[in-house]
Structure 1
Amino acid sequence: MSSLARFLFALGAAVAAASLLAASLRRRRALPSDLPAQLVPSSHMAGRNRSFILWLHGLGDSGPANEPIRTFFSASEFRLTKWAFPSAPHPPVSCNHGAVMPSWFDIHELPLSAGSPQDDSGVLKAVENVHAMINKEVVDGVHPENIFVCGFSQGGALTLASVLLYPKTLGGGAVFSGWVPFGSSVVERISPEARKTPILWSHGMADRTILFEAGQAGPPFLQSVGVSCEFKAYPDLGHSISKEELQVLESWIKSRLKASQGKDN
């Protein structure tokens, strides 16, 4: 078995294990108003051709388990890319009847549909932490439009919230098997600059954990708030990430890195 095949098998197994755990157990604060609108990088010009990719894992997973994803990004455009794979805290999770496990915010039920209840306050608290990671890179000299946030499942939902609620335009947000994790009351917090950040949304039509209908609800929501979204459906894909999705992601980010760097030059 090739290293690529081993990685995809391991990644799929990890995701499946988290989903099975939730299923088996089921059987038996506002954003701060003082987020900086403008940050002054310490080495602004040096950061023009650097980039930052933040990857947010799913429920029950960990950051280090996802680090092999970076091996898919071998093009020269990524030679100055910094990656971050943080791990979620370990709170009790409602869909697992209060079991403690890695989770960015609470999930009330699985499978999750377009009408499932949301944990708005938990999402907003998690967004603060993601914004702190982004702000650190901007201060360090990375241009905001060379920053990309990506995530799978719960991490995909947090990706969407973090990108939409960040006060500046970022390079993009990539949502894999995610959902819109907040209600309409949060929409008014989306700034005009954030509405310029493009979204790539990928979802398996055979997903039995985050139902395809939850993914399908994403593009109409984004269109209603003026955000560009490229939606890709994968007919035979369950709750997992495929090699094809990662290849599309590499191309999608690469094209935007070129555009951003060319604009800076």
Structure 2
Amino acid sequence: MYTHQQQLVTAGVPLSEANKAILMFHGRGGSATAIISLQRFLHLQDMAIVAPQANRNSWYPYSFMAPENQNQPALDSAMATIAETMDEIDKNGISPANTYFLGFSQGACLTLEYVARNAQKYGGIIAFTGGLIGERLVVSHYQGDFEQTPILVTTSNPDPHVPLSRVEESVVVLEGLGGQVELNVYPGKMHSISREELALANQWLL
């Protein structure tokens, strides 16, 4: 039920013609089509836009702060889906330094977990309401050097799904891997992506 086949929704410049790409990851209950619709608000005109679709609209079954074994094999399968997609982008001549990531909620958690386990120079990373995955953070999972990749992390306080304490823990890990992290916390914001966050993403990264 929770393993993922590579299903990609694409938009923007075709991969074979683009110099830059952005991977977009939907939240639990969302869809690749829905997350790609954010292109209306973001400066992605020169990019290939690629959004993997989770099986049954969920990347893993339980909270991102559940014991990791409870979210297996779905989590490993989701990571493999990202790795396969990155390979496809690379085959089209787009380097990691010209590859961007964007995720919301469960998709933001997945995004941060993947890039922290595979830290290198990326174009930029946007995590709307997310943190690193696991009941406790296993720092040995995270390796590499972001080489000052810009990373935008936004969240609300309080948030019903993502505790601020975990977001802050995650920022420490990302900075320790050489990320240039900007954390913005919005008091009382709904569990959604606001226009302010989209504007910030355009200013900070795109």
The TM-score range, normalised by the shorter chain, is: 0.7 to 0.9
Q: Which residue of 2 aligns with 1:106?
A: 61
Q: Is the 8 A contact 1:58 1:103 kept in 2?
A: yes
Greater strand proportion: 2
Q: Which residue of 1 aligns with 2:193?
A: 241
**TM-score, normalised relative to structure 1:** 0.63
In the TM superposition, residue 106 of structure 1 has moved relative to its aligned partner by 2.6
Q: Which residue of 1 aligns with 2:127?
A: 175
In the TM superposition, residue 104 of structure 1 has moved relative to its aligned partner by 0.8
Alignment partner of 1:62 out of 26, 31, 34: 31
**TM-score, normalised relative to structure 2:** 0.79
Q: Which residue of 2 aligns with 1:218?
A: 170
CA offset digits 1:122-179 (Å, max 9, x no partner): 4333111112112211210113211111101110000001112236421122111112
Cα separation, partners in 2 of 1:206 and 1:191, compared to 1, 3 Å: closer
| 2:46 counterpart letter in structure 1 | L
**2:169 pairs with 1:200:** no
In 2, the alpha carbon distance for the partners of 1:160 and 1:213 equals 15
What root-mean-square deviation, in Å, do the aligned CA atoms of Structure 1 and Structure 2 show? 2.5
For 2:52, what is the secondary structure of its paired residue?
coil
| 1:245 counterpart letter in structure 2 | E
Rg: which structure is higher? Answer: 1
**2:97 pairs with 1:142:** no
Greater helix proportion: 1
In 2, the alpha carbon distance for the partners of 1:235 and 1:190 equals 30
Alignment partner of 1:158 out of 90, 107, 110: 110
| 1:103 counterpart letter in structure 2 | S
In the TM superposition, residue 181 of structure 1 has moved relative to its aligned partner by 0.5
CA offset digits 1:2-35 (Å, max 9, x no partner): xxxxxxxxxxxxxxxxxxxxxxxxxxxxxxxxxx
Q: Is the 8 A contact 2:143 2:177 kept in 1?
A: no
In 2, the alpha carbon distance for the partners of 1:210 and 1:161 equals 14
Q: % of aligned pairs identical?
A: 27
For structure 1, the residue ranges without an aligned partner over 5 or more in a row are: 1-42, 91-101, 255-265
In the TM superposition, residue 196 of structure 1 has moved relative to its aligned partner by 4.6
Q: Is the 8 A contact 1:206 1:239 kept in 2?
A: no
* Equivalent residues, number: 188
Alignment partner of 1:52 out of 14, 21, 26: 21
In the TM superposition, residue 195 of structure 1 has moved relative to its aligned partner by 6.0
Alignment partner of 2:49 out of 78, 83, 90: 83
CA offset digits 1:103-124 (Å, max 9, x no partner): 112314xxx7xx6533365433
For structure 2, the residue ranges without an aligned partner over 5 or more in a row are: 1-15
Q: Which residue of 2 aligns with 1:3?
A: none
In the TM superposition, residue 69 of structure 1 has moved relative to its aligned partner by 0.3
